[in-house]
Structure 1
Amino acid sequence: MISYLDLLLKLTIWFLLTSDISLANIIIGAIVCVLLPRKLTSIGKLQDWFRALVEVLIAIPQAYFEAIQIMLIPHKQERIKMERVKPGRTPGLIFLDIFIITFTPKTIVLKYHEEGLYEVHRIQRKKTS
């Protein structure tokens, strides 16, 4: 089941990169996803994948909300914060976490540290004193 989720993740990324859902692109994407090398690592729990899917579904309206906020209200303060990777994450889930963080307009992952940390850049409204 997990290998199907990995394949689905790769195919979803293919569709996001190509912005094309034609039959020819689906076939090409499926072939590319099958041919991509797989790294043999610990298999992520199915529960973690469903949790990640829920996070993606939450991130979509959040991204629109943040984009509107940025257009209407100036966000002039920046900060960089180190965030810890959730324990027991597979490389696929770590990639999905980075994608979710970067998907929202106010945040971007600058670097992933092998020690299990994300370097996250955030913008926010200037705090009034």
Structure 2
Amino acid sequence: MIGYLNLILRLVIWFLLTADLSLPNILIGVAIAFLLPHNHKIKGELKDWLRALGEIIVAIPIAYKEAFEIIVRPHNEEVVTLQRVPPRRSAGLIFLDIFLITFTPKTIVLKYHKEGWYEVHRVRRREPQ
């Protein structure tokens, strides 16, 4: 099951990059998804995948809300923080984590540290003093 999720993730990335759903492009995407190297040593559990996909669905309205907040009220303070990577993350789940963090307008992942941390840049509203 996890193998299918990895394949679907690779195809979704391919379609996002190419923006083409023609039959030749679908065939090329499937071929590339199968040819890309796989790390069979680290496998995410199905519940981790489902949790990540649920978080992405929840992030969509949050992204709209944050974009509206940035338009209405300026955010003029920047902070770089470290965020712990959840344990037992496969490369696909790490990609989904980074996508989720970067999807919202106020945050972006600057770097992934192999020691288990994401370096996250955030903009926020400076509190009046």
TM-score range relative to shorter protein: over 0.9
- Find out whether 1:104 has 2:98 as its counterpart: no
Contact 1:75-1:126 at 8 Å conserved across structures: yes
User: Secondary structure in 2 aligned to 1:55?
Assistant: helix
Is there any run of 5+ residues in structure 2 with no aligned partner, and where? none
Q: Deviations over 1:79-108 (max 9, x none)?
A: 000010011111211111011101111100
For residue 91 of structure 2, what is the aligned residue in structure 1? 91
CA positional deviation for 1:71? 1.6
Identify if the C-alpha distance between structure 1 residues 118 and 72 changes in structure 2 by more than 3 Å, giving closer, same or farther: same
Root mean square deviation, CA, Å: 1.2
For 1:36-115, list aligned pairs within 5 A. Answer: 36-115=36-115
Distance 1:58 1:25 in 2: 30
Question: Partner residue of 2:20?
Answer: 20
Query: Distance in 2 between the 1:126 and 1:41 partners?
Result: 45
Q: Which runs of 5+ in 1 are unaligned?
A: none
TM-score by length of 2: 0.93
- Is 1:83–1:118's contact at 8 Å kept on the other side of the alignment? yes
SS of structure 2 residue aligned to 1:126: coil
Moved over 4 A (4+): none
SS at match of 2:80: strand
* Structure 1 CA distance for aligned equivalents of residues 66 and 15 of structure 2: 24
What SS does structure 2 have at the residue aligned with 1:110? strand
- CA shift for structure 1 position 46: 0.5
Percent identity (aligned): 58
Q: 1:19 and 1:60 mapped to 2: Cα distance?
A: 20
TM-score where L is the length of structure 1: 0.93
- Count of aligned pairs: 129
Give the drift of 1:40: 2.5
Work out whether residues 41 and 90 of structure 1, in 8 Å CA contact, stay in contact via their aligned partners in 2.
no
